[in-house]
Amino acid sequence: MKKILRVLAATAVLASASFAADYTIKMSHVVSAATPKGQAADFFAKRVGELTGGKVEVAVFPNAQLYNDNAVMKALKIGNVHIAVPSFSKFTSLVPAMQLFDLPFLFRDRAHLHAVLDSEVGQILKDQVTAKGFVALDYWDAGFKHFSSSKKPVINPEDAAGQKFRIMSSKVLEAQMKAVNGSVQVLPFSEVYSALQQGVVDGAENPLSNFATKKFNEVQSSLTLSEHGYLGYLVIMSEKFWSKFPDEYKGKVLQAMKEATAFERNLAAEEDAKLLAQMQEYAKSTGKMKIYTLTPEQKAAWAKIMEGIYPQFYETIGEDLIKKAQAVK
C-alpha cells in the first residue's frame, strides 16, 4: 500500500512538472484581491493560462505583498516584477502630467471619464509613460472618490479645515486639500487603515471599492458621497521583461489584457452600486458610521473652490491637455 502511494505521489509530481509553465509573469498591486482591480488581475491570469495552454502563467501578488506604491516603478524598471497597476497619482514623479486625473471635478461622470481615457488625451499620457521605458497597456477603473473622517463629517468645504487627510503622493491632491484648509499626510495605501485607526490622520478620500474592502468603515465615523475626484489605473509592464518575452505569446497576453480591461470596467461600475448598499446596511445596522449625500448646492460649493486650483497646474500638466479633457464629449 505504501509503495502504491509512493508511486502515485511520484506520478503526481511528474504530471505537475509536465504542466509547469515555461514563463511566469509576476503581477503586483496594492489593494485587496476582492476589488475590481484584484478580480481583474486574477481574471487576466486565468485567461493568459487558457490562451497559452498553460505555457505562460501569471502570478498575482495583491495587498502590496511584493511592492508598496511607488517602489513598484523601480522594480518594473529592473525587471524584478513584470506588470503593475498603479493609480494615476503614483506616476507623479515619473510623468507629472498624469496628475491630470487627480484634478477635482474634472470628469462629469463615468462616461466622460472613459471618453477622455479613450481619446487623444489618454494616448498622449500613455506615450509619456512609454517614453520613460515602460509598456503602457490599458486604463482600469476604481471609481469616484469620497471623503471620510473620524473627527467631523466632511459635508461643506469648511468642514475640512483643521482635519488631516491621507492623500496619495500628488501635488494636485495636496493643493486640493489646501484649497479647503485641510492638512495632508502622504502615506502608502497599505498604511491607511492603521493611520486612520491610530488617529495619525483624521480622514481620507477613497472610492467605495477600496474603502469597503479594507474595512475603513471600522475606523471612520462618517462617509460623504462627495464624488469630488476620480481614482483609476494605468496597467504597465516592464519594458525590460517584455522585450525578451517570446513573440509567439505576446499577442495572447495582449488579448487577455484586452478582455481583462472590459471585465474590470464593467465590474467596477457594478461593484460601486453593490458596495454602497453594503455600506448603507453597515451604517444602519451598527450605527457606527453615518453616510452623507451632498445637495447640488453643496457639491457646487466644493467644485467652485477646488476647481480654483487648476491654473496652478497649467505648467506641470499642460493647460492644453486640461482643456482638451474638459472638451471631450
Q: Contact positions toward ligand LMR, by CB under 6 A?
A: 30-31, 87, 142, 168, 189, 210, 231
Smaller CB separation from ligand LMR, 38 or 157: 38
Distance from C-alpha of 81 to C-alpha of 285, rounded to nearest angstrom? 43
- To ligand LMR, the closest distance from the beta carbon of 203 in angstroms equals 13
| Residue in the block written with cell 496628475 | 99
| CA–CA distances in Å: residue 141 to residues 83, 164, 214, 319 | 16, 26, 17, 24
- To ligand LMR, the closest distance from the beta carbon of 17 in angstroms equals 36
| Residue in the block written with cell 487558457 | 50
Distance from C-alpha of 175 to C-alpha of 247, rounded to nearest angstrom? 45
Smaller CB separation from ligand LMR, 74 or 284: 74
> How many C-beta atoms lie closer than 10 Å to residue 232's C-beta?
22
CB-CB contact of 83 with 26 (8 Å): yes
Smaller CB separation from ligand LMR, 56 or 279: 279
Smaller CB separation from ligand LMR, 30 or 58: 30
Smaller CB separation from ligand LMR, 56 or 139: 139
- Torsion sign, CA atoms 90, 91, 96, 97: negative
- To ligand LMR, the closest distance from the beta carbon of 31 in angstroms equals 5
List all residues 6 or more positions away from 62 whose beta carbon is below 8 Å from its beta carbon.
29, 30, 31, 32, 33, 38, 41
**Secondary structure (DSSP) of 127-140:** HHHHHTTEEEEEEE
- To ligand LMR, the closest distance from the beta carbon of 142 in angstroms equals 5
- To ligand LMR, the closest distance from the beta carbon of 30 in angstroms equals 5
Smaller CB separation from ligand LMR, 128 or 169: 169
